[in-house]
Every structure is written in structure tokens, then in C-alpha cells.
Structure 1
Amino acid sequence: MMKPPRLSSLLACSAAFAVIALSAAPLAAQDAITEVEQALDPEVEGGQDIVVTGELGEMHSQAREQARDITPRGGSVAAPLARMQRPVCPGVFGAETRTAYEIIGRIRSNAERIGHEVIRGEPCTANVIVAFVDDPHDEFEQLRDADHYLADGLSFWDAKRVRETESPVLAWNVTTMRNRDGIASNGNPPTFASTAISRTELGVREDIDVSVVMIRRDAIEGLDTIAIADYVTMRALAQTLTPEGATELGTILELFNEDVEAPPFRLTAFDEAYLTSLYREQANAPSRVALRDVGRLMERGSE
């Protein structure tokens, strides 16, 4: 049996792509793509409803603690959290065409629901990449060895974290530090001249340029495209970590966690509140400000 082509060699062919569905025939023209998108309903009904109960204030405490657990330590609560600034353009590698569009449709729908812009109906360069591969660790090393833009921008510590991940999924975000107006600076570390700094507004922001989620093919058995897309949403639109064991409020990030007997298979109330809180604030808001409304948004959603 012929081995599937490596992700690194395929992506080297072109940096401008919107969808890569290499298990199926080549993609149709844009009008056909639009027709397929219209035939698919990204707002698929069903899934698990996460119901949270407790005394007033308890939800805020649990939400704050869980948000802290899934957010990488930035060294300071005053540091900005990474998020996307450009409109979301998902791309899928290693799936049949219809499956790819179902995943893309759901990711777009999720992004719009939390208040972020997406690209529809026109070609775009993917900044959220979902790849189904045989060996995510091997593919990651191939990208690093090739100095590919999908992995070359990672710091030593970020690359180390990816390498040491013991999971059928590898996920990372390539980010750039910019000033509040979106201007990047050369240098390591980057330096900026700014006087627009306060307790609630920083002089810098951290932009996610591209997010990659590699999933081992044999790990998706029994999962539908909505579960996969929701998981990708939480790993791609924010820098998040997989929690150890089951969480108090539930999160789609538990999807591939073998220690969780019945993980959520959809974005939970916590997940949507986390992303909504992050994207409703200014990009240069300190992390303590960006995530301060998670509990409040969950309470509002349960009313």
C-alpha cells in the first residue's frame, strides 16, 4: 500500500491554500465550494449540555481556577494572552472533501459565535490547520527540520512542550509579539517604544499567526466532525493546554484524555465563555482582564 505523502512536502508546494483534502479528489471551483458549504449546516443540533450548579460566587471561583489550569503560564498575569487578529480561515489535510468542509463549517461557526471574523466565499490562506496524520510527532520533526513556517516560528520552550506531549494530538500556535497597533519589531526579545500603558491596557499584544492541530488518524474512531472541530477551536483560537484528568466545569479539551471516562464531545459552557471573554476584550489586555468574565458569562448563559 502506498504511504500517504508527508505534510511537510505537501505544504511546501504552496503556502496559499484554504482547504487540503488529500484523501479525496481535487477540490472543485469556488462556486462548487460555496454550494457544498450551503448544503452543510454547521449549527448541528445535539451534544452534551453542561449544567453547572452552586452557590453564587462558586462558579466564578471554579471558572477562574479552570481557566488558569488550561492557560499556559505567561510568567505574569499582566502579560497579554495570544489570540488571532486576522479573520479565521480553516484548512484541513488528510480528510475526504465532505468531512473537511464539515469541520471547516463548524470552526467558522464557532469563531463567529464568540465574536471573531471569518472568511467565507473567497480563497484565503489557512491560519487554522487541521491535519490527520499517521504519526504527529514525526510530522512535527519533519516540519522543524525543513524550517517550515508552520513550526519554525516556535520558541525553544514551545517546541520542547510539543515534543514532550504524550497524546495522539499535537497542537501549537505560532505567534508574533506586536505593539498595540499591530506593528512587529525585530529583535529577540522584541522591544517597543510606547507610552500607552495602564493597568488594563498594555503597550503590546501577542498575535496568533497560524495554529496547527495534528491528530493521529487512529485516534478519531467514534468521533464525529463536530467534536473534532470543537476541539480544534479551543486549541487554535487560543493558547490552551490539555487538563490533567476531568475538570469541574467540563471542557472539550478533555476529548482525547484517556483519564476522563466520559469527556465532553462538544464545546461546553465554560469553553464558549473562555473564548468569548478572551475575544471581547482588547488584544492588548492583561491576561487577568481578558479572562475575568468567564464565570459571569457562564452564569448569564445558564439563566
Structure 2
Amino acid sequence: MSNRILATLAAAAACLAALPAAAEVYGGAARDEPLPRFEDRLCPGVSGLQRDQAEMVVGRIRENAEALDIPLADPETCRANLLVAVFSDGRRYINELRERRGYLFENLDREQKQRLFEQEGPVRSFVRVVTRTRDGLVVDRAESLEVPPQTTMAMAHSKIYTATRRDIISGTVLVDKAAVPQVDIIQLADYATMRALAGDGAMDVAMPGGTILSLFDGTGAAPKELTESDRIFLRTLYGTQSNIPAAQTLSLAQRRIDEQVWAE
């Protein structure tokens, strides 16, 4: 596997800094807007692990993405847009990044900032999101209340679909080095898969049978891989139209998860 997979520690900041000005850090689901998801080809990368571990994480994430029919970029030439970075102190790193490049997080509200910058625990994650039209044209952010963002497109009136979609253009999962030996590589890769591909959307769905998102909660035995509920959520998110409001996607995912529970 290419050396490009083994990014340096600085790759986390570089990955963020090179994004469009209209991008924002995503902190949660606005139920009348679409849930963010990747539309570009996925390129997982790893920083801070031994080569064999990094290759296993990348391979597992690509395997998960392939199962969801998410297009994959050429690993020999692509630039990582899903980064798993292991640091001695992830909380310290993210706060230093905030001081150096505070504009990256200006769209977060107080609660979202608190969760990202102040939360305890060995892991934190965030995705960068850009709003695009249904056909993929970037919609710039509003410069003021008097000049809202505008775009021109043709679209039939609909109460089911929105005129825009929300694309994840990068996902970053930061893990404290001390926590890595406490989990196996498949668990780590599946946790990163769920965190980066789903953003915070899965937090609004009940997960009977557990979720890999509990891996670092310290609440008991965690799943060994993505659970069936996790997979149903991801299949729903990536198997429906990209411009469906979050409320509909979350409702559909919850219904499918509940049906699976009853079927068992």
C-alpha cells in the first residue's frame, strides 16, 4: 500500500486548511435540512499508527465504504478526506488548532464548541460540510442578513425534497494514543467509519443492540464491530436521496432499525 496512506501528524491541519471558504464544521442535525454525507470519492488516511496498523484501519474503512456503495478514490494518488489521527493528547491538539485557525470552527454554536473542545474522554471528531445545490453547485454562506446566499437552478416544487444537499468534504477522528491499546484495530476502524460517515446524525437514533459509537464511553463491553443498527443507519443515509430533510432520513432509519429488532 502507498506511503501516502501514512500521513504525518501535520496532515490533520493541512487537510482542514485547504477546504473551500464556504465549508463549515458540522455539529449536529437541523431536522429540516439534509443530513451531511460524503458525495466525493472517499480516501481514508491514518496518522500516528504503525504501518501495519494504519494499513489495517484504511483497509477496513474502505471495506465498509464499499459495502455502502460509496465510491472510493485511488489509494495510490488520492488525498485523504477521512483522517484518523492518533495524538498523545487530542484535546490539546484540537484546542491549539482552534487558536491557530479559529475560522474553521466559527459556525459551531456554544454547545457544539463545548462538546468538541472541552469534553472529557480519549476521542473527538468533526466533519467539514459544504452546502451545494441538488446538482452539486456550491452555495456560498450568507455575508449578512441583508444578503442571503443565493443560487440559480431549475427544480420542481416539492414538500419532500430540499433544493440543496449538505456534502461532507472531510471527516477527522482524533484519538488519544493511550486509548489505542484498549481496543482492537477493527473496532477503531469501525468507530472512525461511523463517526466520519455519519457525522452526529446517528446520535438522534435509538440503537437497539448497541452501537460502535459507545466504544470509548467506558460504559461496559463495547461491540466488536459495526452493529446491525449502525449498518442500517449508514445504509439508510447513503441509500436515500441526498436532499431529503434530516427528519425523514432519521425517521426512516429508526423504522428500519426497529423492524430489524422485531424480526429477530
Q: What band does the TM-score fall into relative to the shorter chain?
A: 0.7 to 0.9
Residue in 2 aligned with 1:29? none
Q: How big is each residue's C-alpha offset from its partner over 1:158-186, in whole Å with a ceiling of 9 and x where there is no partner? A: 44431132221010001111111111132
Alignment equivalent of 1:226, drawn from 158, 164, 186: 186
Q: 1:203 to 1:13 in 2, by over 3 A?
A: closer
Return the offset for 1:296.
2.7
Residue in 1 aligned with 2:63? 109
Q: Which amino acid aligns with 1:103?
A: V
Residue in 2 aligned with 1:165? 119
> Conserved in 1, the CA contact under 8 Å of 2:48 and 2:87?
yes
Unaligned runs of 5+ in 1: 1-5, 17-70
Unaligned runs of 5+ in 2: 1-7, 19-26, 143-147
> Conserved in 1, the CA contact under 8 Å of 2:46 and 2:54?
yes
How many residue pairs get aligned? The number is: 238
Return the offset for 1:10.
7.8
- Output the aligned Cα RMSD: 3.1
> Conserved in 1, the CA contact under 8 Å of 2:15 and 2:80?
no
Residue in 2 aligned with 1:286? 245
Compute the TM-score of the two structures, normalised by the length of structure 2.
Answer: 0.79
Residue in 2 aligned with 1:198? 158
Alignment equivalent of 1:72, drawn from 28, 39, 62: 28
Q: Which amino acid aligns with 2:51?
A: T
Percent of aligned pairs with the same residue? Answer: 34
Q: 1:234 to 1:13 in 2, by over 3 A?
A: closer
Distance in 2 of aligned mates of 1:252 and 1:96: 23
Distance in 1 of aligned mates of 2:116 and 2:189: 20
Query: In terms of Rg, which structure is larger?
Result: 1
Residue in 2 aligned with 1:86? 40
Do structure 1's residue 183 and structure 2's residue 137 form an aligned pair? yes
Q: Secondary structure at the match of 2:198?
A: coil
Compute the TM-score of the two structures, normalised by the length of structure 1.
Answer: 0.69
Do structure 1's residue 155 and structure 2's residue 107 form an aligned pair? yes
Distance in 1 of aligned mates of 2:165 and 2:158: 13
